[in-house]
Amino acid sequence: MHIDDQKKNELKGLFAEKISFEDSLSGFTSMGVGGPAEALLIPSETDEIIKAVHWCSSNKIEWCIIGGGTNIVIKDEGINGLVIAITKKLGGFTHENIEGASRIRIMAGTPLSKVCSWAAERGLKGLEFAAGIPGTFGGAVKMNAGTSAGWISDVLDSITVITADGEKKCLSGSEIESSYRKLRLKNVTGPGDICGSIIVEASIILKNGSADEIKAKIKKSMEERKAKQPLGYKNAGCIFRNPENNLPAGKLIELAGLKGAESGGAKVSELHANFIINTGEASAADIIALIDMVKTTVNEKFSVTLEPEVIVAG
C-alpha cells in the first residue's frame, strides 16, 4: 500500500516537521548509497514511535527502522512505506551505581562510541570491545554487535522495545538468547526475532575498573582498526558473516583472489577483503552486484556459502 496525498496529510498532522517525503536516504548510511524513503520520520520521543506504528498498522503501511545506517545497504529504488530513523534525537543515557558496577540506561539513538568513551573516562569496564564500532546503541543491540573480544549481549541487562502491535515492553536479559550477530526471545514460537520490535532503550551493566587500563585497551584496538580497515572510504563494515568451522570470510575472499575486484564504483577493499568500499560514485546496485559476485566465486572455489552480515533494505 502506498502513501497517497490524503495519508501524507494525516502524517503531517501527526508529526509536523518530523516527517518528510521522498527524501534521499543516502546521507543516512555509511555506504553513502540509497534512494528515497516514501516517508521518513525522525522521532524525538518514544510516544511518536508508538503513534507511527499504530498509524501504519491501521493504514496497512509497512514500516522499517534505520539507526546509524552503518550496517545497511539501501537499494537505489529507495524504501516504500514509512522509514523511522532512530537518531541522536532519541539519544541520551543515565546511570546508577550498584555494587562494584554501574547500570547504564541508554536510549537507542545514542551513538555507541559516546557510551564507550564515557565508560572509559569513568573507569567502567566491559564495553572496550565495542570501541570503533560505529552506529547507534539500538543498532548495536539489534545486531548484537561485537568482535572476538566480546558482544553487546555480554553486558546487556534489559531492553525496552515497541512491539509490532505498538506496545511498550521491557525485556530482562534472562528473557533474551544471544548468538553471533543475533538476539532472540527465549521461549517463543517462530523466529523470536526481537527486532520485529523497535528497540527504544537498553540497559547494560559495566563493572568498576581502571580508567587507564580501559583506555589503553581501546587505544590498541582503535590502532588495529586503523591499520586493518579501509576507514578512509565509505563502507558498511564486514559484508559477510564469518562462516562456522571455516576460515574468516575475509580470508576466503582474499584466497579467492577477489581483493580489488570492482563493480562500478564499488570495490573489494585491498586492505580487508570482507569490506566493500564506495570509491566515490558507487550505486547500491554496484555494491549488491559485487556482493553477489563475491558470494558466487567463493562458493565455486571453496563450496562455502557466505551469508551477508550487512542488511540490504528496499
Residue 238 is among the residues annotated as catalytic for this protein: yes
Asked if 308 interacts with ligand FAD (CB under 6 A), we say: no
Return phi, psi of residue 106, to 5°: -125, 130
Window 189 to 228, contacts with ligand FAD (CB under 6 A):
195, 198-199
Asked if 68 interacts with ligand FAD (CB under 6 A), we say: yes
Asked if 265 interacts with ligand FAD (CB under 6 A), we say: no
Instruction: Please state whether 115 falls in left (phi above 0), alpha (psi between -120 and 50) or beta.
Output: alpha
- Residue 101 or 116 having the CB closest to ligand FAD: 116
Catalytic residue (one of 56, 128, 181, 201): 181
- Residue 198 or 204 having the CB closest to ligand FAD: 198
Helices and strands per DSSP (H, E), number in the chain = 7, 20
Identify the helix (H) or strand (E) that includes residue 252: helix 249-255
Identify the helix (H) or strand (E) that includes residue 93: strand 93-98
Return phi, psi of residue 294, to 5°: -65, -45
Asked if 72 interacts with ligand FAD (CB under 6 A), we say: yes
Window 119 to 178, contacts with ligand FAD (CB under 6 A):
133-136, 138-140, 142-143, 145-147
Distance from chain centroid for Cα 265: 23
Q: ∠ CA(268), CA(256), CA(133), 5° rounding?
A: 40
Residue 181 is among the residues annotated as catalytic for this protein: yes
Residue 300 is among the residues annotated as catalytic for this protein: no
Distance from chain centroid for Cα 226: 20
Size of the site for ligand FAD (CB under 6 A): 33
Catalytic residue (one of 38, 116, 201, 238): 238
Which residues contact ligand FAD (rule: CB under 6 A)? 30, 64-72, 86, 108, 133-136, 138-140, 142-143, 145-147, 195, 198-199, 229, 231, 235-237, 311
Residues annotated as catalytic (active site), given as ranges: 181, 238, 309
